[in-house]
Each structure stands twice: as C-alpha cells, then as structure tokens.
Amino acid sequence: MTRVLQLRRGSTSENDNFTGLLGEITLDTDMMTIRVHDGRTLGGFSLARTDSASIDGFDINSVPDEFWQSVILRNAPPALNVSETNPIPIISQVNYLHYITDITTQPKFIDTALICQSPEAGYAIGDVVHSFGVGNFGTPRPNYRLESGILNIYFMVGFQYFWVNHFDTGAVTQISDNNWKILFRIYY
C-alpha cells in the first residue's frame, strides 16, 4: 500500500496567524504555496512557486541585509578557536614526537604540517606542506590526550623516515630531518 504524507494546511489567513514548530512545513491552500516555520515567526516564511515571480508582490531583493545576517548568526555553527604550536624539529629515529601545551579544552581536531627550513624537494624556506608522510603512511595525524589542563600531542614516527610529495613532480621524496620542522594547529 502507498504511504501518504499530509501536511498541515489552511487558508492564507489561517497560515498568517499560525506559528509552526521549528522546521515545520504547512500548505497555504489559497496561494497553493508552502511555508517553512522557525518556531517563533508568526506565519512562517512563504516559499515562491516556480510559476510565479513573487508571492503577494514579495521581492527577495527587498529583504534587508540585517535579516540575512540574523539568519546566519542563528544557524551558523560555533566558531572554532585555533592555536598553533611553535615549529619543532622532526626526528626520524624516534618512536614518536611529543609536544606539550597548556590548552585546557578538548580539541575538535589537530592539523599537522611541515615547514621547510632549507630548500629541499622543490620547496623554499617557509613553505608549509600538508602533503607529507612517515614511512608507508601518508597524511598522518597525531594522537593526543588532555590531562589535568595539559594537552599532550604524540606524533607517531616508528623510526621511519619523513617524506613529502615533491613540489614539481608530486613524487614521494624522502627529506632530511634538519631541513624541516613540524607544526601542529589545534582546533577547539
């Protein structure tokens, strides 16, 4: 048997005097349009039909910028804070690199990058490279643990060499530890 979805419906007047739930959709049976509700605006928001240039003379260009800014502020995700570590030397002949910082908030994620200190693999001093790896692993991510207000970042190396994708050719190119430093960007 076919399933049917039936929306709340009513005349234009009835819709104008109705505040729907957040995300609720109603049908205006006079205008044959739908309205989307935000849980607080009386009448909701009428959506234009493709066979009509406007709804009761409504022109989208007449909506003030303040309205759109308030919609964005209400619906935008919270801003992320970003903290950047000082660049630290890379060392291939260790099990892991360990970095400690006093960030007291659990990170959302941590990004890693290498910073060129001396020209190598087609990169110049100061170039930031995200396309790198360690041994057989590309785009490695650090492990981290927040303990007593201290963030411990562990970057696994496993006694393997660091490599970058060559700037010009894209080929995997082993790099010298002393020509590069690693940087962690902490998003929280």
Confidence of residue 54 (pLDDT cuts 50, 70, 90): low
Query: Beta partners for 183?
Result: 113
pLDDT mean over 151-176: 96
Q: Which of 57, 75, 93 is the last residue of a domain?
A: 75
Whether residue 55 has pLDDT greater than 80? no
Burial annotation 41-67 (CB, 10 A radius, 16+ → b, else e):
eebbebeeeeeeeebeeeeeeeeeeee
Whether residue 43 has pLDDT greater than 80? yes
* Alpha helices (H) in the chain, listed in sequence order: 12-16, 65-75
Contact between 124 and 157 under an 8 Å Cβ cutoff? The reply is no
Do residues 16 and 49 share a domain? Answer: yes
Residues of the domain holding 136: 82-187
Model confidence over 155-164: pLDDT tens digits?
999 999 999 9
Structure tokens at 27: 């049908």
Do residues 67 and 119 share a domain? Answer: no
The per-residue pLDDT for 64 is 87
Q: Which of 48, 75, 102 is the last residue of a domain?
A: 75
Other Cβ atoms less than 10 A from the Cβ of 106: the count is 10
Do residues 115 and 165 share a domain? Answer: yes
pLDDT mean over 120-131: 97
Do residues 56 and 118 share a domain? Answer: no
Q: Which of 34, 53, 75 is the last residue of a domain?
A: 75
Whether residue 52 has pLDDT greater than 70? no
Number of structural domains the chain divides into: 2
- pTM here is 0.61
